[in-house]
Structure 1
Amino acid sequence: MTTVDPDEKRTDAAQPRPAAPRPLPLAVAVPVAVAAGLALLVAFPPYGVWPLAPVGVALLAAATHRRRLRAGAGLGFLTGVAFFAPLLAWTNLHTGLLPWVLLSLLQAGYLALLGAATAWVSPLVDRVRWCWAPLTGVLWVGQEALRDRTPFGGFPWGRLAFSQGDSPLLRVAALGGAPLVTFAVATTGGLLLAAGWRRWDVGRWRQTRWWLPVAGLTAGAVLLCTAGLLVPVGRAGGGATVTVAIVQGNVPRLGLDFNAQRQAVLNNHVDATLELAGQVAAGTRPHPDLVVWPENASDIDPLRNPTAGARISQAADTIGAPILVGAVLLGPNAGQVRNAGILWRPGSGPDLDQLYVKRHPVPFAEYVPLRNIARMVSKQVDRVRTDFVAGSTPGVVRAGKVLLGDVICFEVAYDEVVRDTVTGGAQLLVVQTNNATFDAAEARQQLAMVQLRAVEHGRPALMASTVGVSGFVAPDGRVSDATGFNTREVVVRQLALTDGRTLATRVGLWPEVVLAGLAVAGLAAAAVLRRRQRVGPG
């Protein structure tokens, strides 16, 4: 019979248990969380240092790993403030500090939820190290899915995908749209973190074969970053070619009172179009098949104001091409207005069958939800005197030989609004926008969204702004003929139309649904593991 030495028993019992895994010291985690927000900020236009997006993701995940939920939420909130406050600084240029502060804090609240979720799944990551990267990816997609829809229809500005306008990962949009690009960026951040993380209990770390998962994850990060280059984008779909002119008429002065000069803004766009017609007649510019004016080019309803209508007809007749006019229309009922794109044909005027009304008006800018309650917070809401009425049909507009997919201003940030035009047959994506109340940074952030949409749906696209930035985007995301800001310019380009559909167009919302579902599953798995750890071995 085998006997056990009592001294050996005592020696084994005296062996100290390994220390529990620890988070980063709080004095380190706080600046790391702030640095995460700043890294995310610099990844977006106007800076455009897109490789910093996964770095920001990694820093936030590092700061919140192994934290209590409250601490994780607090650190996520710090990241959100450092990111959103400067990113959205253009919202306070002409409306005061309060809207900017409230919007920034609201958006930061979603990163607080992300921070808490990241802290929650820490036991799962510690148990299965390789899952850190995909968990980070799906949690970011889940956070954005929630932020894009709540409250009052959501505010998708600052999605990770919109930072990748010049990145190889932009090409992933052709497979699964913005959610898949966000997943790729966040997963890359998770891979970077897994490769660089060191346990604070150094003794245990050195006893493990840490180099195996690190080597694998580093190789995975390299593969993921280069995978985008293998995604085919920009393939022609057999459509015709069309020559399109963008008219950026500019406004007398920037700010909320730009529309106090409504007639001057309309005249600017008419006069710029007449100048283009003169250049066409002189043979210095090609004759356009279509002219695009921006949002708010006519804040005087041209269907009810004969003078405004006559001026637009003069422009259309002289250039000899239909004009897609961004206009504010009264009605359909008394006390209502609509933000619309209407096709104005030479010789016959407005084509009411080719009229798109903006489907996603901006809360607190184009309409005020819960006005009586909102007024208690700030009486500035009464600057929006009349609520805009939302349209109900996708912006598919037939203009001669081209079928347009018209979206207006911030609608370009919403996946389903753009996709509905492509499934409706649009061959060219058109974004009509008015940046007169913002700045060049906001305009460039919006142009990056147009780049993603062009790749996502394999369509040529353009953005027409009152003041800039306007320009064309190829189906592979390249920008051409981008205009300056606060200038009057007209750009003309021949585009090859596309009729085919990308995989992203076909699958629609399913990538986001699947990835967000995996995020929920990850949270549930972490809950089960936490419960088992509390109960302990039976």
Structure 2
Amino acid sequence: MNRLKALGLLLPRVVVAVAAGVALGFAYEPHAHSWLALIAVPVFLAALSGAGLSSKGGFGIGAGFGIAFYSTLVPWLSVIGGDAAIALSILEGLFFAVFAAFAVRLLRHKWWMLWIPSLWVATEFAAASVPFGGFPWGRLAWAFADSPLGKLAAYVGIPGLSFVIALLGVLVFALFRPQSGFRLRAVALVAGAAIVGGSALVNLSTDGNGKTVTAAMVQGNVPGKGLEFLGRARTVTRNHLTATLDLQKSVAAGSEDKPDIVIWPENSTDIDPFKDAETRADIETAVKAVGVPILVGAVLEGPGPNERQTTGVVWDPQSGPGQVYAKRHPVPFGEYIPFREQLLPYIKRLEMVGRQTAPGKVPGIMPIGGVTYGDVICFELAYDNVIADVLNGGAQVLVVQTNNATYGGTGQPEQQFAITRMRAIETGRTVLIASTSGISGVVQPDGKVEHKSGEFVRDVYVTKVPVRDEKTLAIRLGAWPQWILTGIGLLGILVAQASRRRNNPPTPPPAAKPARQKVPV
């Protein structure tokens, strides 16, 4: 009977948490209602608050929230398979289950308004790190590219911005929490207004060091959607060759400026141009036509047997192929298979992955024509260390080579473009994006969109952008905000646990009854 009563009390909370998770998913692209994050977070906390809720109950509530959130955020993975989308949603959702198990205790501590947003950052950090290198797609910061709050990323970085958003959610919760007194509500209202109002006053500079570079992004398009494009690699390369030749015709006619660099996307050739004469001839034809280096997205064979690498190759019109950057964060189960020998006999669909993608070992720092470019490829854009490494290596302009053809029309390209915009703000760099099928474009150092292509269309865009040397405060601080906030969150767990033991000392065992003494007769 007690179990049924406990279940009856828990189920409404789970329902509320699931609704909050769905709402948070709608804060992101392609829905882009970022304000929902400031409702979803306090509603989730409301489901976790109240007397009598155990950590076990919090775990279940958090699981409902997290799984609902990721199911709303990444339905695009259903292109690979519905089971893959469900598995990822459950795996990532469990990080919030752990968060909630601890948050139940933290909400009862007097410093809960600090512990909760710090623990949220720790949760995002964990999800972005494990397993298999993590999946940093569900960070609160990614939803705020169009909000004045997003500009704070230039100062506190992506983890710091997630803390600010979570803190605002905590402040909203404090305003409506029944236990909050007048003073706490006043502090929450003033602090929230100060954060929102202060972010609206931030003005980010887009000035360069006096030098500019003219770049052309070529989106040649692909002949199919979803997984269909994978079997038509030579056609994809020819599409990019044709688009580049047409670009040169426009330059010769005076209708386009001559670029200093041309950028082709990830997988603009899936055939190794160092091993295939026809592919190499197509690239060299394009390079000689435009007369400037082309950064080619090429899949190269090796370095080991049955291995490949997803790369950016600088191809010069005079000297030919030069520097190569190999993608450092290949996608598990998309570009390589963990536990390959054990899984392949049971999951035949994984054979579509083909050869294992070997990760690169060095950052994508590309000096081309007197300008240092920082090259990142597709999903690794979401990993902090990849971005930090190219900025600390001297990148003056960021380049994103990507291939979203598998997920075209699903919302995933829109989500990735929003992440790109946040990276522009965080780094203070112009970002040049080249995609096989969309979205290609240009994002200015303050996150404003200069150009954004459609999906599954050919698009060639030429632009002149500033070369920048100055590092933002976020880049100078590096990973310290994330480590400090994570440490604060973990400290909160320890303090709450110690307080619980102090307030609930163990019950002493019952005293032994004294032995009866015999009375002498």
TM-score by length of 2: 0.92
The answer to whether structure 1 residue 299 and structure 2 residue 260 are counterparts is no
Q: AA paired with 2:93?
A: A
Aligned to 1:279: 250
- What residue is the counterpart of 2:33 in the other structure? 49
480, 488, 492: which one aligns with 1:510: 480
CA contact (8 A) 1:233 1:476 kept: yes
Whether 1:269 and 2:240 are equivalent positions in the alignment is yes
Structure 1: runs of 5 or more not aligned: 1-21, 200-204
Matches within 5 A, 1:98-113: 98-113=83-98
Within the candidate set 64, 72, 84, 1:86 is matched to 72
Q: CA deviation at 1:449?
A: 1.0
Measured in 2, the distance between the counterparts of 1:239 and 1:536 equals 69
- Deviation of 1:258 after TM superposition, in Å, equals 1.0
Q: Distance in 2 between matches of 1:211 and 1:89?
A: 43
Distance 1:325 1:72 in 2: 49
Shift of 1:307: 1.1
Aligned pairs (5 A) from 1:310-459:
310-351=281-322, 354-375=323-344, 378-440=347-409, 441-459=411-429
> Of 4, 9, 19, which residue of structure 2 is paired with 1:35?
19
Displacement after TM superposition at 1:536 (Å): 9.1
- Indicate yes or no: 2:124 matched with 1:155: no
User: 1:138 aligns to what?
Assistant: 118
Question: How far apart are the structure 1 equivalents of 2:506 and 2:233?
Answer: 71
Corresponding residue SS for 2:318: coil
Given that 1:133 and 1:188 are in contact with CA atoms closer than 8 Å, whether structure 2 keeps it comes out as no
Q: Provide the C-alpha distance between the structure 1 equivalents of 2:303 and 2:342, rounded to a whole number of angstroms.
A: 27
The number of residue pairs the alignment matches comes to: 500
Do the aligned partners of 2:107 and 2:116 also contact (CA within 8 Å) in 1?
no
> Deviations along 1:67-88, whole A, 9 cap, x unmatched?
2111111111111121111311
- Shift of the 195–88 alpha-carbon distance from structure 1 to 2, 3 Å rule, reads same
After TM superposition, the structure 1 stretch with the greater mean CA deviation from structure 2, 372-381 or 383-392, is 372-381
Shift of 1:135: 2.2
CA shift for structure 1 position 377: 5.8
Question: 1:188-337 maps to which residues of 2 (within 5 A)?
Answer: 188-199=168-179, 210-337=181-308
1:447–1:469: 8 Å Cα contact kept in structure 2? yes
Provide the C-alpha distance between the structure 2 equivalents of 1:59 and 1:378, rounded to a whole number of angstroms: 39
Instruction: Determine helix, strand or coil for the equivalent of 2:399.
Output: strand
CA RMSD in angstroms, aligned pairs only: 2.0
Measure the CA separation in 1 of the matches of 2:387 and 2:210: 19
Which stretches in structure 2 are left out of the alignment for 5+ residues? 1-5, 509-521
Is the CA contact (8 Å cut-off) linking 2:106 and 2:116 kept in structure 1? no
- Deviation of the 1:236 alpha carbon: 2.5
> Which 10-residue stretch deviates more, 220-229 or 248-257?
220-229
What is residue 144 of structure 2 aligned with on the other side?
Answer: 164
Match of 2:437 in 1: 467
1:452, distance to aligned residue in structure 2 (A) = 1.2
- Aligned runs of 1:166-185 on 2, under 5 Å? 166-185=146-165
Give the whole-Å Cα distance in 2 for the aligned partners of 1:510 and 1:35: 34
> Cα distance, 1:256 vs. partner?
1.9
Shift of 1:405: 0.3
Q: Does residue 1:497 correspond to 2:467, yes or no?
A: yes
Alpha-carbon distance in structure 2 between the residues aligned to 1:231 and 1:517: 28
Q: 2:492 aligns with which of 522, 529, 534?
A: 522
Q: How far off is 1:281 after superposition?
A: 0.8
Q: 1:6: which partner in 2? A: none
Deviation at 1:451, TM superposition (A): 0.9
Percent identical among aligned pairs is 41
Confirm whether residue 478 of structure 1 aligns to residue 470 of structure 2: no
Distance in 1 (alpha carbons) for counterparts of 2:242 and 2:153: 39
Q: Is the 8 A contact 2:106 2:112 kept in 1?
A: no
**Paired residues of 1:396 and 1:424 also in contact (CA < 8 A):** yes
Aligned counterparts of 1:239 and 1:450: Cα–Cα separation in 2? 24
In structure 2, C-alpha distance between the alignment counterparts of 1:516 and 1:373, rounded to whole Å = 35
Q: Secondary structure at the match of 1:61?
A: helix
1:382-426 CA distance string (max 9 Å, x none): 222210111110000112132110000110000010110011011
Separation in structure 2 between the aligned mates of residue 115 and residue 269 of structure 1, nearest angstrom: 49
How many Å apart are 1:178 and its aligned residue? 0.7
* AA of the residue aligned to 1:221: G
Whole-angstrom distance in 1 between the partners of 2:482 and 2:343: 32
Q: Give the superposition deviation at 1:288.
A: 1.0
The match for 1:3 is none
Is the Cα–Cα contact under 8 Å of residues 14 and 60 in structure 2 kept in the other structure? no
